[in-house]
Amino acid sequence: MLIRNKPIINSSEITSESVYLNRRNLLHAAGLSGISLLPNIALSEDIPSRYQRLENISKSSFSTDAKKTSFVDVTTYNNFYEFGTGKGDPASNSGKFKPQPWAVTIDGEAEVTGTFTYEDILKPHTLEERIYRMRCVEAWSMVVPWVGISLGDLLKRFQPTSKAKYVTFETVERPSEMPGQKRPLLDWPYREALRIDEAMHPLTILAVGVYGVELPNQNGAPLRLIVPWKYGFKGSKSIVRISFTEKKPYTSWNDLAPGEYGFYANVNPEVDHPRWSQARERPIGGGFFSNKVPTLMFNGYADQVANLYTGMDLTRYY
Ligand SMILES: Nc1nc2c(c(=O)[nH]1)N[C@H]1C(S)=C(S)[C@@H](COP(=O)(O)O)O[C@H]1N2
Ligand SMILES: [Mo]
């Protein structure tokens, strides 16, 4: 019981950004890096043909026009502890993972519940490209062209009841395909949750692709959550269950280390992580010596989302 509630995580396993980049540079200098340091020029032609192209994608007015992080960086610099804690582990260790066929169970406070296939989930929706700024709690950032559907439009189909105050997104538990789940790094399965109004916000999407192709396993195939004004850890990957609840649910990082990771996890340059500053961030792809840039309140999405938190003390509800 104790072990399940308080998984053993060694803070040294959470590789800091500078340690990772140093190691990557050293490996590269020694010619040993599995990670390509190609210039930032990922055009669609650079995307390996093994990735399935997605059709009929419309553009979104919510997209940023900031320079995109390359496909190579988006798919080789990842956090997905189910495949290991290193940034390269998800790309290296997810080859056995099978994202098809797939089904998602909807339960809790909703009129329509049950298990739906990936195809059922997507069928009535239009795929959109949403180029979003992404900010990890570890003080690095990316600009990623996700392909997805409006999460609010999907959730409305299940008719949440008036008791549905929170929505939880649970990742699949499959230790035979996910080697990281053989260790108690987190209290598996990975779970993150949003308040219902955050889940319904038009910026929140369920992503199925990136750069016009189906999500690679390391990015959370076949379905993952994207909430661009929150730190990346809110974005559960490889989702198999969506639960509507009245009470605030268990969420993996907040319950593991409440002093370090808040339930809200809104990007906020004024509220530091206890072990590092959140005022600046390192855009991935610029190399180790590239300049950090200032982090923006709500990751630059304040005009759209600040009103969700009116009257809340954001240093308390971090
Ligand atoms: N299931 C699961 N989802 C997860 C994580 C994880 O370890 N397991 N890591 C989170 C963190 S910390 C980040 S920053 C983003 C990274 O998404 P990306 O690798 O597609 O950039 O995924 C989030 N979703
Ligand atoms: Mo993260």
CA of 111 to the centre of ligand 1 (A): 30
Q: Residue 17 falls within a domain, yes or no?
A: no
CB 205 within 8 A of CB 131: no
Reported pTM = 0.88
Q: Residue 22 falls within a domain, yes or no?
A: no
Q: Residue 24 falls within a domain, yes or no?
A: no
253 Cβ below 6 A of ligand 1: no
Asked whether the CA dihedral 256, 260, 266, 267 is positive or negative, the reply is negative
Q: Residue 301 falls within a domain, yes or no?
A: yes
Q: Of 20, 72, 192, 233, which is best to mutate to test ligand 1, by the most ligand atoms within 8 angstroms of its C-beta? A: 233
Q: Of 16, 73, 79, which is best to mutate to test ligand 1, by the most ligand atoms within 8 angstroms of its C-beta? A: 79
Nearest-angstrom CA–CA distance, 136 and 88: 16
Where residue 12 falls among pLDDT bands split at 50, 70, 90? very low
Percent of the chain beyond pLDDT 90? 84
Q: How many CB atoms lie within 10 A of CB 149?
A: 20
281 Cβ below 6 A of ligand 1: no
Residue identifier of the C-alpha nearest atom 12 of ligand 1: 233
Radius of gyration of the chain (CA): 19
pLDDT at position 145, please?
98
Query: In Å, how far are 55, 56, 100, 151, 219 from 125, measured between CA atoms?
Result: 13, 11, 19, 10, 21
Q: What is the pLDDT of residues 73-104, one digit of tens each?
A: 999 999 999 999 999 999 999 999 999 999 99
Question: In the predicted model, is pLDDT for residue 120 greater than 70?
Answer: yes
Ligand nearest to the CA of 235: 1
Q: Residue 317 falls within a domain, yes or no?
A: no
Asked whether the CA dihedral 81, 17, 20, 225 is positive or negative, the reply is positive
pLDDT at position 8, please?
44
Ligand 1 atom closest to 136 (CA): 14
Query: In Å, how far are 110, 156, 165, 244 from 162, measured between CA atoms?
Result: 9, 12, 8, 10
pLDDT at position 44, please?
52
Q: Residue 9 falls within a domain, yes or no?
A: no
Nearest-angstrom CA–CA distance, 36 and 44: 17
Where residue 289 falls among pLDDT bands split at 50, 70, 90? confident
Mean pLDDT of the chain: 89
What is the domain range of residue 221? 31-309
82 Cβ below 6 A of ligand 1: yes
Give all strands (DSSP E) within 181-269, no chain letters. 191-195, 205-210, 213-214, 224-226, 239-245
Q: Name the burial class of residue 95, with classes exposed (0-12), middle (13-18) and buried (19+) by CB atoms within 10 angstroms of its CB.
A: exposed
Q: Residue 252 falls within a domain, yes or no?
A: yes
pLDDT at position 40, please?
40
Q: Please state the domain count of the chain.
A: 1
Return the structure tokens found at 160. Answer: 């949440």
CA of 303 to the centre of ligand 1 (A): 25
Domain of 149, CATH number, reads: 3.90.420.10
Helix (H/G/I), strand (E/B), else coil: 196? helix
**Tokens 């950004």 belong to residue:** 17
Q: How far is C-alpha 34 from the chain's CA centre?
A: 23
Q: How far is C-alpha 142 from the chain's CA centre?
A: 12
**What letter does residue 259 receive in the DSSP assignment?**
T
Mean pLDDT value across residues 118-124: 98
pLDDT at position 36, please?
42
CA of 175 to the centre of ligand 2 (A): 22
Nearest-angstrom CA–CA distance, 275 and 138: 10
What lies within 8 Å, CB to CB, of 227 at 6+ separation is: 194, 198, 203, 204, 234, 235
Where residue 175 falls among pLDDT bands split at 50, 70, 90? very high
pLDDT at position 286, please?
82
Q: Residue 283 falls within a domain, yes or no?
A: yes
